[in-house]
Structure 1
Amino acid sequence: MAIEDAVANKVGALYSRGEPRDYLDVDAIRESGRFAEDHLLSLAAQHDPGFDVTLFATRLRAVESLVPDDIAEYGISSTDLDAIKRRLLAWGQGLTGHSPEPTVSPDA
């Protein structure tokens, strides 16, 4: 299997399943620097004609629901999980223009 096919399958798994491991895999692929975000989306769309960027963005934003117990078997620390969440959440928000809710009131 070509690397691009494997990567497309990993992105597709996140899109269709959204299991904790899928988030870790896609984050690792992005962090490797070998594939730009647009390329990842293009690969996923080539392998799944029904791939929808808006739905994928929603799936990415669902990373917020992961807790350390979900990924404990993969040896990911809470600190690493927080970083993964930040990166994938930012990507998902960037795809649809949703910005995170402010944690401090603008009037504060």
Structure 2
Amino acid sequence: MKKPPTVSVGGGRYGLAVTAHIDDFYRDVATIALGVGEKHGFVLGGGVAWLVNGLVRRHTEDIDLFTDTAGAVRAAAVEVTQALTAAGYQVFRETGEEMFAGMDEDLREYHVADGRRALRLTLTRLDRRRAPVVMDVGPVMHLDDLVASKVAALVNRREVRDYIDVAAALERYPLERVLALAHALDDSLEPEDIADAGRYLDRLDDARFAVYGLGAAEVAALRGRLAPWPR
């Protein structure tokens, strides 16, 4: 099995016109999808957006495109799948039994493959507060909005990758700013839930970070960066 790329927390420069830390397969799929999705308000977000901003270098299996426009997911879905198919990719829609009626208005997930590799492409609706940054891959979610949505994700799901990304954000933003951005995006975040996320990190075994290529020194640095997080 191919070893996931080693994570580099930080590095890069915000506003870089040419995306540097993204695999060609991911770059091509994202560029094609954004080429037809941009007019529906879609921007690149999620883990790949963190990569292209130079914040982290870590393994990801998804491309996440977000729009803040009602009805845009359904409107763009056919165009995106047709464009990817025309480019030679195999595209299959993923449907889960847990999806509620009407959920497909704001969420579509696709399996995209080139015969050797595959990824999950997600089209979904998510509010944002800042205009996107234009990069060679297409419009990319503004770093403020990336940080805000990532902190909200960390509080709600506590995935290892979320801790990695938030620790990287703290190299550029003070903790107070990070939390303020998250609250501005999601005013339902409760202080106790934020503190729970900090306490959960304290219980996480260092080995959980190994899948993302972090060794003992990198994990120690991450924990140090997140030490001021509320507990």
TM-score, scaled relative to structure 2? 0.37
Secondary structure of the residue aligned to 1:92 is: coil
Which residue in the other structure is 1:27 paired with?
167
Provide the aligned length of Structure 1 versus Structure 2.
Answer: 91
Give the gaps of 5 or more residues in structure 1: 94-108
Deviations 1:20-43 (A, max 9, x none): 111111001102x2x221111111
The SS at the match of 2:188 is coil
Post-superposition, which runs of at least 4 consecutive aligned residues in structure 1 deviate over 4 A?
Answer: none
2:31 matched residue in structure 1: none
The alpha carbon displacement at 1:6 in A equals: 0.8
Confirm or deny that 1:41 pairs with 2:179.
Answer: yes
Residue aligning to 1:52: 190
CA contact (8 A) 2:170 2:225 kept: no
Partner of 1:8: 148
Q: Percent identity?
A: 34
CA contact (8 A) 2:150 2:162 kept: yes
> 1:72-101 CA deviation, whole Å, 9 max, x = no partner?
1211111221232233233224xxxxxxxx
Structure 2 gap ranges (5+) = 1-140
Matched, 1:84 2:222: yes
Per the normalisation by structure 1, the TM-score is 0.73
| Counterpart Cα distance in 1 of 2:216 and 2:180 | 31
The answer on whether the counterparts of 1:63 and 1:89 sit within 8 Å (CA) in structure 2 is: no
Q: How many angstroms apart in 2 are the aligned matches of 1:92 and 1:81?
A: 19
Pair member with larger Rg = 2
- Select the structure with the greater relative contact order (CA < 8 A; seq sep ≥ 6): 1
Aligned partners of 1:53, 1:30: CA distance in 2, in Å? 19
Higher strand share: 2
Q: How much does 1:71 deviate?
A: 1.4
RMSD: 1.6
Structure number with higher helix proportion? 1
